[in-house]
């Protein structure tokens, strides 16, 4: 697995970001949130991801940039969880949503849990919720 975060995986398109917020679904694992949307079939990349840290919680740009770097690093090291289990291309926005200053290890653990929760959510079929075992 290539543990890189190349430029072509970065989410920069304003239209795609707008669609994420209007039509995207969300999964959370405190204090992280992942907003996702299945990308168009003609997409050249399997995953496009952007990171965000709210100015509401961290007024100083230095603090916001630190947590954005941590989010990008945890994605980079754990993206194999997504790459190995996705057939369709997806667009993601990855948020840090608390004023608590968690350590790198805590954020990394939460990222892994968040990715696993996301994979469970997209692999659920509507029929499997209504079935009961006899």
Mean pLDDT (the chain, rounded)? 88
Taking each continuous run of H as one helix and of E as one strand, the counts in the chain are 5, 4
Question: Can you list the alpha helix ranges (DSSP code H) found in the chain?
Answer: 14-23, 61-78, 80-83, 104-123, 126-130
CA distances from 27 to 63, 102, 118 (A): 24, 19, 6
Give the pTM. Answer: 0.86
d(CA 24, CA 18): 9
Residue 106 lies in a domain: yes
Domain around 60: 8-110
Residue 42 lies in a domain: yes
Convert the pLDDT of each residue in 79-95 to its tens digit: 999 998 888 899 999 99
Q: Are the CB atoms for 112 and 78 separated by under 8 Å? A: yes
Q: Which residue's entry shows tokens 């840290």?
A: 53
Q: What is the CATH number of the domain that holds 95?
A: 3.30.230.10
Residue 117 lies in a domain: no
Query: How many independent structural domains does the chain possess?
Result: 1
Residue 124 binned pLDDT confidence (cut-offs 50, 70, 90): confident
Residue 69 lies in a domain: yes
d(CA 82, CA 78): 8
Residue 37 lies in a domain: yes
Residue 100 lies in a domain: yes
Residue 116 lies in a domain: no
* pLDDT for 114 beyond 70: yes
Q: Are the CB atoms for 89 and 45 separated by under 8 Å? A: yes
* pLDDT for 51 beyond 80: yes
* Predicted local distance difference test score (pLDDT) of residue 128: 44
* Predicted local distance difference test score (pLDDT) of residue 130: 47
* pLDDT for 47 beyond 60: yes
User: Looking at per-residue confidence, does 18 or 2 come out higher?
Assistant: 18
Mean pLDDT within 94-114:
95
* pLDDT for 133 beyond 60: no
Residue 123 lies in a domain: no
């Amino acid at each position: 697995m290539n543990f890189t975060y190349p430029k072509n995986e970065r989410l920069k398109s304003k239209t795609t970001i707008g669609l994420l917020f209007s039509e995207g679904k969300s999964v959370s694992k405190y204090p992280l949130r992942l907003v996702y949307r299945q990308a168009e079939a003609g997409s050249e990349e399997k995953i496009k991801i952007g990171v965000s840290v709210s100015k509401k919680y961290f007024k100083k740009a230095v603090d916001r940039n630190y947590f954005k770097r941590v989010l990008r690093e945890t994605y980079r090291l754990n993206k194999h969880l997504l790459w190995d289990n996705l057939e369709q291309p997806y667009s993601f926005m990855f948020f840090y949503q608390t004023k608590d200053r968690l350590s790198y290890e805590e954020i990394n653990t939460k990222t892994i849990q968040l990715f696993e929760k996301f994979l469970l959510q997209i692999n659920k079929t509507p029929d499997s919720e209504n079935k009961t075992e006899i």
